[in-house]
Structure formats: structure tokens, C-alpha cells
Structure 1
Amino acid sequence: MELDKTDLAILRYLQEDGRINNSDLADKIFLSASSCLRRVRALEEAGVISSYCAVLDADSVGLEVDAFVQVTMRRDIEQWHENFSKEIQHWPEVVGSFIITGEANYLLRVRARNLKHYSTFIMDRLYKTSGVLDIRSNIVLQTLKDTHVIDSALLKSTD
């Protein structure tokens, strides 16, 4: 889908406030409510807007540990990728998972209540997963920037 300046404005406002009502959104981008609603629905149907959600403050809900974990797999285990990919879907501690370049195969973002919870996850789940060869953890000491907002300066516009 090609995005114009109006689409980019819609996306910017929806990323700032996913609960904004259509009438207020239309006012902000100088469109009629019906035109605005048509554009939002088109963005949703095209998959540009994939979902709406509430972003929780991890500290406020008791998740003190935030860690990035590099996982290297043994390649001599049959279907190691498929099995690992299925396994991590059942682990609530894993809030992000990525296939990466470099020595490791995966980068996981793990959230835990405390260091004991994190340690139990690493020792009792991750290390015991078939095919796992090596794990390297980086525990976040301080977050400088963490956002899901995609700035419109990165997006291609048809205007």
C-alpha cells in the first residue's frame, strides 16, 4: 500500500493515542469523519495497522528484570529451528524473539518478576530445551529508549 501525507498523519495520531475516537482524529487531520474512517479501515485491511493494544509499564506490574538473551543452537539436532520456534511460543517470559546474524541464532527479550524468576526460567526451561548449545544474557540496567512508534520520517510517502 502506498501511503500519502494524510495516511501518515493518521498513523502518527493513532500511534500516539490508539483510543482516539474517529471524530477527533478526523478533526486533527482536517477530514470528514466518514473519509477518515474509510482511510483507517483501508490501513487496517492492508495490514499497515496490525493491531491496537495497551502498553503496560513493566515496573508497575512487578516485572523487575528485563534481559536480552542470545541463544546458539546445535545444528546436529533434527528440526532444531522448528522445535525451538514452537517451544518459545509457550513461554510467557519471552516477550520478543528474533532470528539474528552473528554467532547466535536467536535473540530473545525476556521479562521476569525478579532475578530468581529469571534464573529459574534460564535453568529450568531454556537450558533444558533440546538443541540449545549456548546462552548469553544481557540484563538491562537502565532503559534509554523503548518504543513501538514508527516515526513517519522512516515511512515512504507518495506525496
Structure 2
Amino acid sequence: MELDAINLRILACLQENGRISNQDLADKVALSPSACLRRLKALEASGIILGYQARLDTERLGVEIEAFVQVSMREDEDGWHDRFVAEVGQWPEVCAIYVVTGESNYILRVQAASLKNYTDFIVNRLHRTRGVKDIRSNMILQKLKEVPSGLLGRRPARR
């Protein structure tokens, strides 16, 4: 599917407000409502738009700790990657799992209600996971910028 300037503007508007009405979206991107809806349905059908979700205030939900956790694995056993991802992917504290380059194999984005809960997660679950060789945590002290991803810096001009 072609991502022309109008499609990019549609995507940018949806990232700012996923609940925008089709009429308001059409006005923002200078299309008729029917043309806008056709483009939106095409973006959904092509798989560029994977879905819609609410952004939550984790602090108000009781999340006090958020961290990026680097995990290095022993790679001497068959199936170590699939086994690790299957196990860790089931844990509710793990919000995201990334395969990365560098000294570690993975970076996990982890949330916990308290330092005690985070410590329990690291010591009693992650550290005891088969094949884990090294764990390094980077605690998030303050979020300075957090935007939805996906447009690869291709922000369209506003009309």
C-alpha cells in the first residue's frame, strides 16, 4: 500500500487521537468523509493499522517501578530463544520483549507495583529462568518524551 502524504496525515491524527470521528479526521486531512473512510479501511486491511488502544496513566494504576532490563542468555542449549520468549512472555510484569544487538540478547520493559514486587520478579523469577546468564536493570526515573511509534520520523505537514 502506498503511504502518500494524506495517508501519513491520517496515521498521525490517529496516533494523536485514536477515537477521532471520521468526520473530524476527514476535516483534518482535507478529504470528504467517504474518501477518508475508504483510506482508513484500506490502512486497516493492509495491516499498517494493527488496532486501537487506550494509553493509560500507569502511576494512577499503581505502577511505581518501570525499568528496561537487559538479559544475556547462555546459548549452549537448543531452543533457548523460543523457551525464554514463551516463558517470559506470559509474565504480566513484562510489557515488551525486544531482541537486540550488543552485549545482551534481550531488553525487557518491566512494570511493577513496588520495589519489593520488582525485586521479587528479578530474584525469584527472571534470575531463575533456565539459561539466563546476566541481568542488568535500568530504572526509569522520569519520562521526558513518549510518543506512539510507527511513522519512522515521517511526520506529515499539518494543514
What TM-score does the superposition give when structure 1 sets the normalisation length? 0.92
Match in the other structure for 1:62: 62
Asked whether the equivalents of residues 99 and 106 of structure 2 are also in contact (C-alpha less than 8 Å), the reply is: yes
Task: For 1:1-159, list aligned pairs within 5 A.
Answer: 1-151=1-151, 153-154=153-154
Aligned length: 156
- Percent of residue pairs identical: 52
Task: Tell me the amino acid that sits aligned with residue 125 of structure 2.
Answer: R
Q: Quote the offset at 1:141 in angstroms.
A: 1.3
CA-atom RMSD in angstroms: 1.6
Q: CA deviation at 1:77?
A: 2.3
CA distance in 2, matches of 1:103, 1:48: 32
Distance 1:29 1:78 in 2: 51
Residue 154 of structure 1 aligns to a residue whose secondary structure is coil
Mean alpha-carbon deviation: is it higher for 146-155 or for 38-47? 146-155
Residues 22-80 of structure 1: CA deviation (Å, up to 9, x unaligned): 11111222211111110000001111111100010111101010101000101112211
2:68 and 2:110 in contact (8 A); partners too:
yes
Give the Cα–Cα distance (whole angstroms) in 2 for the partners of residues 21 and 11 of structure 1. Answer: 14
Q: Secondary structure at the match of 1:130?
A: coil
Whole-angstrom CA distance in 2 between matches of 1:151 and 1:39: 17
Query: Structure 1 stretches of 5 or more lacking a match?
Result: none
Give the direction of change, closer, same or farther, for the CA distance of 1:152–1:79 in structure 2 (3 Å limit). Answer: closer
Q: Distance between the aligned counterparts of 1:100 and 1:35, measured in 2?
A: 40
